[in-house]
Every structure is written in C-alpha cells, then in structure tokens.
C-alpha cells in the first residue's frame, strides 16, 4: 500500500493549520489569546469558531458532536448529540453554537466522584479545553473537555493536569530569570508515551473468560519456551502483525498522532508503539485515543490488543514509558544539558531540583503508577521494581560527585568546573541505558518507566509537574536575592552541594532488578511500597497535601475523593477477578478434570476385566483426583473470602482485605489449576494454553 503521509496526516484534526485557513483573522487572534493567557472565550468568537468547526467537521462526514472527557473510571467518556435542529417547513438544519462548543452538561451521576458530587444535587459539567485540538472520528466531532462539578471540584484526570502545567509554567519562568533567561514567558511540560501491548488471536481470546472479563489470564501453566532466548525483541515482524501496524499507523496519523516507532518487544506477542512527544495535555489525549484505536484496529485483523499490565504470568508485563521534559516558548528543552556554561549551570540546577523532588516525593511517584493490574508488573521480570530511584549515567554522576566534593571534574578533553567550562556531552543512544531504572535520564529527558500500560498518563504527569514546581520554587526563593550578583554561581554551587549531600540516596546506577538492590534501598531508607494498598494512603500525607494545596492542584476533598476512588477500583478489580476464577474453575476446569478422571477409571475397569495392567492410568487418576479435591476446596474458600471482603465497610480496610486474603487465595487456586493443566491431555483442557495463545499470531 502506498500512503501519502503528509496528505493524510492530521486530516481529521482541527489544528492550527486548519484554524488559520478557516477562521477570520480576528477570530483566530482572539482564540490564540484565550489559549495563551487563559482567558475566557467571548461568545461572539465562540459562535464563529463553532460554526467554522461544524462546517469543517461536516465535510469530514460528521453528523454529531461530543464533549470528550476523562472521568475517574480510567477510560474516556463521550455522549453524542446531533447537529440537527428543526428549521421552518419541517426542514432540518445543522446547527452548532458557541455555547454547545464551550460547555456541556452530561448527566454524569454514575461517574465515580468519591463523594464530591451528590447524585441528587449538584451535576457535573464539561468545559472545552482549547489547548487540545478537536477531531473527527467515526462520524462525530470530538471536543476535548475537562469535567468538573458545579462547585468547581475536579471529577476528571485532565483538570489537575492543566492546573499542574500552569503551576509549572509560572514557577519555571521565574526560575529561569535567575539564569538570564528573560525572554521565556511560558514553560510547557512535554510527554512521549511509549505504549507497550500484546496482540493475540481473537479466536483464542474468545475462549478465555478471564481475558474477556479481566483483561488478563487468571490461569495458565508456563509454556516450555518463554522469553529466555530473547528472540522476539526487535525481531522482524510477522505478516499479520506488520499488516496490523501499518493500518494502526495510518489511523493514528489521520488523528494527528505522530506514531513514529514500532517494534516487537521482549516477550512473545508483545509490541510497542512510540509517538513523537508533544505537550502533556495533548500527549495525554493522544495516548487515550491511541489505546482506543489500537484495540479497534486489532479487531479488524482478527486480533485482540491487550493493554493490561500483566496479561500472562511469567512473561514480561507491559508498561507505558512516560518520557518527560519541559520546553520553553523560545524552543529550549530544559533537560538538554546545553553547550554553554550558563546553560550547563541552569541544567545542573534543574537536575538537582529533580533529584531532591524525586527523593522527597518518591511515595507520590510510586502512587502515580499504582493499580491492581500494575501491581503484578512492578517488581516482576524485566520490569521496574516498586522502589523509586533515579539513574543518571556514569558521566553525569561523576559531574555531580565532583560538585559534591568540591573537585574539578576531568574528562580526557577538558576539565569541568561548574559554571566555567562546557559539560561533557551525554550519551543519547540506548546502548548506555539502564533499563532497570524506574526513572532514568536519557540524554535530554527523563523516562519514567513505572507507569502501567493501561493507565491514563495524566496522573504521573500531574505529580511530576507538581513536584518540580515545588522544588524550582524553593530554589528560586533561595537564589533570587543573588540574581545577577558576582556571588551567584557560588550560591548555586552551595545549594547544589547541599541538595546532593541530602538526596544522593535516590540515585542508583546499578541493576534495579537484583535482590541486592532491595536490601540496599532499605538500608538507604527508600520506601518500597509493594502494592497499591500500601502506597495509596500516602496520597493525603500532610507533606503531599501541602504541595497540592500550594499550587492549587487538589484541595483536601479532591485528594481524599481520589484516594477513595482508587481504592474502590482496586477492590472492584480484585473482586471481579476472584469471581471469574471461581466461575471458570467450577464450570470449566473442575468438570474437565473430573471428566478425565472418569475416563481413566473407565479405562482401568475395562483393562482390569481383560487382565491388562493399568498402573499408569491409576497413577494419573490418583494424582488428578487429589488435585481436583484441592481445587474444589480452593473454590469454596475463595468464594467465602470474597463474601467476607464485601462486608468490610472501611474503603482502605476492604482493599487491604482483598489484597491480603482474596489475592492470596487466588494464588493458591492458580497453582493447583496450573498443576492440573500440566497433567491433563491438551485435548481435554477446556481453555487455550499459554503456548497456543502467545505463539499463535
């Protein structure tokens, strides 16, 4: 297939280019002003704008429009209204007002609000986020919106992200002035989310209730061949996968998503799509959209795209590497070390702000990636451990060490003294990467690798932005009195030295997957929250609440609500998984086992009649009978545990019960069932085995 990429790229997006050609000059100018200065859009401008968007959308085949938002459910939400309005003489008109563009009032009483919105009283409303582009998809105009309650409390994931971006911009602009960066008026956080996923055959998927209901396999013995040969990583693409990826690219390009890199991942049937980075809010919208498109395109190829963090036990899980940096409106990447001493100094100061921030708020970082699904991934094979640490690379680490010890850093080429010489250049290619670090510097950005593959990336970026705002603000307070003075560099150096002394413990360049690191981290006093239930309560710790309040990201109610929603979701997820296990074990696995035992017994009886030995059958029948009994007992116990969990009133305690008691019983059941699977003939096992699923495409 030959594709004219520039022609199709963003053909369904109402972006700057389209705006410039479609909008009257003054309307475009007013709109830009609104975006830049965060001013409300005046109604006349909104009306003209809405009409232009409607005309454009109708040319693209849209008949409906929808406010598209990201509630706390974990997926996006949309409700479609038609442009149609009755005209005179029973004719239909197509109308779209500025009011309809700017504000919507979905009946949103069933979205989780954590008690922020009483179902009967206050309603939620959606408001257009003009910093993200409208687009057309499947006959509808999509308008990216935020979702808040009438009292202004956030009910979604986008509002806090926009708030955090604003906070970051304000603090960073002030901070940059210290370094003579006076022209910068805006700083934007950027994100490039590498998305990992599995592709499996739809026919296999349809036969597994666990995949259908929970997105992951709850049973399944390890296949004889796993990923030990690493023969899948970057391997050439099989035709069916290649066809999928080709169509995926085209669909993403049409939506203005710069899908750039695609390759096979380490695990069998695992792949990755990486877009070119963009602003955090657009990047968040685009990632949500990308996940949806990935799932839809798969179906057209007889495949199912699994976005769960750990669809298969014993096989690598999927993450979403959140590449994060900050850009200024004059085009600087603030995590680019730069070529001149003053740039270097600015870079090192920002780096130290990050070191301090990640150390002080490691709990928030961990929490931003917490979910029932990701709990199975963090700490498992080839995945970031649940301990937050930072990787800087040998060279950069040596530079920081020199600062800390008042030494001059020397490479073969030149000596480096802070603020005097140029920094050595840092490797930007992947060979020198530490892939076991949850937060790694990769030359001009940080890669936060803890985030789960199915997660919305708003939360991790909100926390990163907030943490960095806090540290930059603190640094500015300390350094501002010395701005422009002769002693400025000395003061910076003093500050960096102090920060490094106090926070060096967060830096770890070794193997993050080794058991020694767990011990070492404990010795350093770094938190290790193994599960969602362990880290969630820290959301509302006073030190965390303080920075959220300070920058207007969340008030106390919003934060409590969010904690509750997270924990409730955790409990619900484990409950559904537990119930699915009970059902599959009772209705499929146990009957199959007993059926086979019955067949064996019949064979034994027949053989005995004619005097043939049946010791093999007897051995297998005995073994399977014992295992069947264990499975039965486990089913009874799991059902009981779930019942007990449901009775626990307190949200935190309930989640803990699900974690400690229900998950534990699920593990027992799985071990028994997997053992049975290994002793059953393939033809008698009622669900597709791992090797059939992951080596089938």
Smallest distance from the beta carbon of 366 to ligand ADP, in angstroms?
Answer: 21
Q: Interface with Mg ion includes 156 (CB under 5 A)?
A: no
Q: Which is nearer to Mg ion, 267 or 642 (CB)?
A: 267
Q: Which is nearer to ligand ADP, 214 or 232 (CB)?
A: 232
Phi and psi of 323, rounded to 5°?
A: -80, 125
Q: Which of 26, 261, 425, 640 binds ligand ADP (CB under 6 A)?
A: 261
Stretch that binds ligand ADP, among 96-104, 305-313, 399-407, 440-448 (CB under 6 A): 440-448
How far apart, in Å, are the Cα atoms of 111 and each of 71, 72, 106, 506, 510?
7, 7, 11, 38, 43
Q: Interface with ligand ADP includes 333 (CB under 6 A)?
A: yes
Secondary structure class of 595 (helix, strand, coil)? helix
Q: Interface with ligand ADP includes 431 (CB under 6 A)?
A: no
Q: Interface with ligand ADP includes 274 (CB under 6 A)?
A: yes
- Size of the residue set binding ligand ADP (CB under 6 A): 17
Smallest distance from the beta carbon of 196 to Mg ion, in angstroms?
Answer: 9
Smallest distance from the beta carbon of 194 to Mg ion, in angstroms?
Answer: 4
Q: Interface with Mg ion includes 196 (CB under 5 A)?
A: no
Q: Which of 145, 188, 325, 461 binds ligand ADP (CB under 6 A)?
A: 325
- Size of the residue set binding Mg ion (CB under 5 A): 2
Contacted entry of Mg ion, ligand ADP, none for residue 325, CB cut-off 5 to 8 Å set by kind: ligand ADP
254 in Cβ contact with 11 (< 8 Å):
yes
C-alpha to C-alpha distance for 373 and 149, rounded to whole angstroms: 29
Q: Tell me the pairing of strands 84-86 and 92-94.
A: antiparallel
Contacted entry of ligand ADP, Mg ion, none for residue 474, CB cut-off 5 to 8 Å set by kind: none
C-alpha to C-alpha distance for 350 and 469, rounded to whole angstroms: 11
Q: Interface with ligand ADP includes 316 (CB under 6 A)?
A: no
Strand runs labelled E in 83-129: 84-86, 92-94, 103-104, 124-128
Indicate the helix (H) or strand (E) that contains 69: strand 64-69
Q: Interface with Mg ion includes 564 (CB under 5 A)?
A: no
Contacted entry of ligand ADP, Mg ion, none for residue 329, CB cut-off 5 to 8 Å set by kind: none
Burial group, residue 38, by CB count within 10 angstroms (0-12, 13-18, 19+): exposed
Stretch that binds Mg ion, among 35-43, 100-108, 193-201, 367-375 (CB under 5 A): 193-201
Q: Interface with ligand ADP includes 9 (CB under 6 A)?
A: no
Residue with CB nearest ligand ADP? 192
Contacted entry of Mg ion, ligand ADP, none for residue 615, CB cut-off 5 to 8 Å set by kind: none
Q: Which of 275, 357, 384, 452 binds ligand ADP (CB under 6 A)?
A: 275
Taking CB under 6 A as the criterion, which residues in 611-670 touch ligand ADP? Answer: none
Smallest distance from the beta carbon of 432 to Mg ion, in angstroms?
Answer: 15
Q: Which of 194, 196, 251, 473 binds ligand ADP (CB under 6 A)?
A: 194
List of residues 6+ apart from 301 with CB closer than 8 A = 240, 243, 244, 247
Stretch that binds ligand ADP, among 126-134, 206-214, 318-326, 378-386 (CB under 6 A): 318-326
Q: Interface with ligand ADP includes 352 (CB under 6 A)?
A: no
Contacted entry of Mg ion, ligand ADP, none for residue 311, CB cut-off 5 to 8 Å set by kind: none
C-alpha to C-alpha distance for 288 and 132, rounded to whole angstroms: 13
Place of tokens 């000395």: 490
How far apart, in Å, are the Cα atoms of 556 and each of 118, 154, 453?
17, 12, 29
Polymer length of the chain: 697
Q: Which of 276, 612, 678, 682 binds ligand ADP (CB under 6 A)?
A: 276
Secondary structure (DSSP) of 633-692: HHHHHHHHHHHHHHH--SHHHHHHHIIIIIHHHHHHHHHHHHHHHHHS-GGG-SS--HHH
C-alpha to C-alpha distance for 493 and 345, rounded to whole angstroms: 9
Smallest distance from the beta carbon of 465 to ligand ADP, in angstroms?
Answer: 13
Taking CB under 5 A as the criterion, which residues in 263-282 touch Mg ion? Answer: 274
Stretch that binds ligand ADP, among 41-49, 323-331, 407-415, 497-505 (CB under 6 A): 323-331
Q: Among 648, 696, 666, which Cα is nearest to 583's?
A: 666
Q: Tell me the pairing of strands 64-69 and 140-149.
A: parallel
Q: Among 494, 491, 497, which Cα is nearest to 479's?
A: 491
Q: Which of 12, 45, 190, 531 binds ligand ADP (CB under 6 A)?
A: 190
Secondary structure (DSSP) of 176-234: HHTTT--S---EEEEEEEEEEEEEEEHHHHHT-HHHHHHSS-S--PPPS--STT--STT
C-alpha to C-alpha distance for 344 and 484, rounded to whole angstroms: 17
Q: Interface with ligand ADP includes 265 (CB under 6 A)?
A: no
Contacted entry of ligand ADP, Mg ion, none for residue 191, CB cut-off 5 to 8 Å set by kind: ligand ADP
Q: Which is nearer to Mg ion, 77 or 274 (CB)?
A: 274
Smallest distance from the beta carbon of 260 to ligand ADP, in angstroms?
Answer: 7
Q: Which of 259, 323, 454, 573 binds ligand ADP (CB under 6 A)?
A: 323
Smallest distance from the beta carbon of 695 to ligand ADP, in angstroms?
Answer: 24
Smallest distance from the beta carbon of 263 to Mg ion, in angstroms?
Answer: 7
Strand runs labelled E in 344-501: 390-391, 409-410, 415-416, 439-441, 446-448
139 in Cβ contact with 82 (< 8 Å):
no
Q: Which residues of 122-160 are buried (b: 16+ CB within 10 A; e: fewer)?
A: eebbbbbbbbbbbbbbeebbbbbbbbbbeeebbbbbbbb
Q: Which two tokens stand for residue 298?
A: 């798969």
C-alpha to C-alpha distance for 221 and 223, rounded to whole angstroms: 6
Q: Which of 167, 168, 191, 584 binds ligand ADP (CB under 6 A)?
A: 191
Q: Which is nearer to ligand ADP, 192 or 338 (CB)?
A: 192
Q: Which two tokens stand for residue 490?
A: 């000395």
Q: Which is nearer to ligand ADP, 325 or 634 (CB)?
A: 325
Q: Is the dihedral of CA 434, 414, 337, 485 positive or negative?
A: positive
Stretch that binds ligand ADP, among 272-280, 312-320, 412-420, 689-697 (CB under 6 A): 272-280
Q: Is the dihedral of CA 526, 532, 538, 544 positive or negative?
A: positive
Smallest distance from the beta carbon of 266 to Mg ion, in angstroms?
Answer: 11
C-alpha to C-alpha distance for 529 and 151, rounded to whole angstroms: 35
Q: Among 259, 246, 244, 255, which Cα is nearest to 299's?
A: 244
Contacted entry of ligand ADP, Mg ion, none for residue 120, CB cut-off 5 to 8 Å set by kind: none
Q: Which of 47, 194, 473, 677 binds Mg ion (CB under 5 A)?
A: 194
Which DSSP state fits 587? Answer: I
Q: Which of 65, 96, 277, 312 binds ligand ADP (CB under 6 A)?
A: 277
Smallest distance from the beta carbon of 241 to Mg ion, in angstroms?
Answer: 16
Site for ligand ADP, rule CB under 6 A: 190-192, 194, 261, 274-277, 323-325, 333, 430, 444-445, 447
Site for Mg ion, rule CB under 5 A: 194, 274
């Amino acid at each position: 297939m030959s594709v004219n990429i520039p022609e199709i790229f963003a053909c369904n997006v109402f972006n700057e280019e389209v705006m410039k050609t479609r909008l009257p000059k003054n309307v475009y100018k007013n709109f830009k002003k609104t975006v830049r200065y965060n001013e409300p859009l005046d109604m006349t401008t909104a009306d003209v704008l809405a009409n232009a968007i409607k005309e454009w959308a109708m040319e693209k085949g849209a008949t409906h429009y929808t406010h598209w938002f990201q509630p706390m459910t974990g997926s996006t939400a949309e409700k479609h209204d038609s442009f149609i309005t009755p005209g005179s003489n029973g004719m239909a008109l197509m109308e779209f007002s500025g009011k309809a563009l700017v504000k919507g009032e979905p009946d949103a009483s069933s979205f989780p609000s954590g008690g922020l919105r009483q179902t009967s009283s206050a309603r939620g409303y959606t408001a257009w986020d003009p910093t993200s582009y409208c687009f057309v998809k499947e006959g509808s105009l999509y308008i990216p919106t935020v979702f808040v309650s009438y009292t202004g409390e956030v009910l979604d994931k986008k509002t806090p992200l926009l708030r955090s971006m604003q906070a970051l911009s304000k603090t960073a602009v002030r901070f940059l002035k210290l370094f003579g960066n006076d022209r910068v008026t805006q700083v934007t956080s950027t994100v490039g989310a590498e998305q990992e996923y599995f592709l499996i055959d739809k026919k296999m998927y349809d036969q597994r209730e666990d995949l259908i209901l929970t997105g992951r396999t709850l049973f399944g013995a390890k296949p004889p061949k796993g990923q030990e040969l690493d023969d899948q990583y970057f391997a050439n693409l099989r035709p069916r996968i290649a066809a999928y990826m080709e169509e995926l690219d085209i669909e993403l390009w049409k939506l203005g998503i710069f899908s750039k890199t695609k390759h096979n991942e380490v695990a069998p049937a695992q792949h990755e799509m990486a877009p070119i980075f963009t602003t955090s809010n657009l990047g968040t919208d685009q990632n949500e959209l990308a996940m949806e498109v990935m799932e839809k395109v798969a179906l057209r190829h007889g495949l199912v795209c699994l976005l769960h963090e750990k669809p298969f036990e014993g096989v690598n899980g999927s993450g979403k590497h959140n590449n994060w940096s900050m850009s200024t409106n004059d085009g600087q990447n603030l995590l680019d070390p730069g070529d001149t001493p003053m740039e270097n100094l600015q870079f090192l100061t920002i780096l130290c702000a990050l070191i301090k921030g990640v150390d002080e708020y490691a709990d928030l970082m961990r929490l931003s990636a917490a979910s029932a699904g990701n709990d199975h991934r963090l700490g498992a094979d080839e995945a970031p451990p649940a301990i937050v640490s930072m990787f800087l690379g040998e060279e950069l680490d040596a530079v920081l060490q020199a600062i800390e010890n008042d030494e001059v850093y020397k490479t073969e080429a030149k000596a480096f003294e802070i603020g005097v010489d140029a920094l050595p250049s840092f490797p930007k290619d992947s060979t020198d990467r530490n892939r076991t670090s949850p937060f790694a510097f990769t030359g001009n950005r940080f890669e936060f690798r803890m985030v789960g593959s199915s997660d919305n990336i708003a939360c991790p970026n909100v926390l990163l932005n907030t943490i960095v705002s806090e540290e930059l603000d603190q640094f500015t307070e300390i350094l501002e009195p010395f701005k422009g003075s002769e002693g400025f560099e000395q003061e910076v150096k003093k500050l960096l030295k102090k920060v490094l002394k106090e926070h060096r413990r967060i830096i770890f360049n070794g193997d993050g997957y080794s058991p020694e690191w767990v011990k070492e981290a404990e010795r350093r006093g770094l938190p290790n929250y193994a599960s969602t239930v362990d880290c969630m309560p820290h959301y509302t710790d006073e030190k965390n609440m303080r920075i959220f309040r300070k920058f207007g990201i969340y008030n106390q109610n919003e934060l409590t609500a969010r904690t509750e929603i997270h924990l409730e979701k955790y409990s619900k997820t484990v409950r559904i998984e537990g119930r699915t296990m009970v059902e599959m074990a009772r209705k499929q696995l146990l009957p199959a086992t007993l059926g086979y035992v019955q067949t064996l017994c019949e064979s034994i009886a027949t053989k005995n009649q004619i005097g043939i030995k049946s010791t093999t059958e007897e051995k297998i029948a005995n073994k399977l009978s014992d295992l069947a009994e264990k499975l039965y007992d486990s089913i009874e116990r799991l059902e009981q545990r779930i019942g007990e969990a449901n009775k626990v009133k307190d949200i935190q305690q309930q989640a803990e019960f699900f974690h400690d008691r229900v998950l534990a019983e699920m593990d027992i059941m799985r071990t028994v069932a997997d053992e049975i699977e290994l002793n059953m003939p393939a033809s008698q096992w009622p669900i597709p085995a791992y090797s059939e699923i992951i080596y089938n495409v």
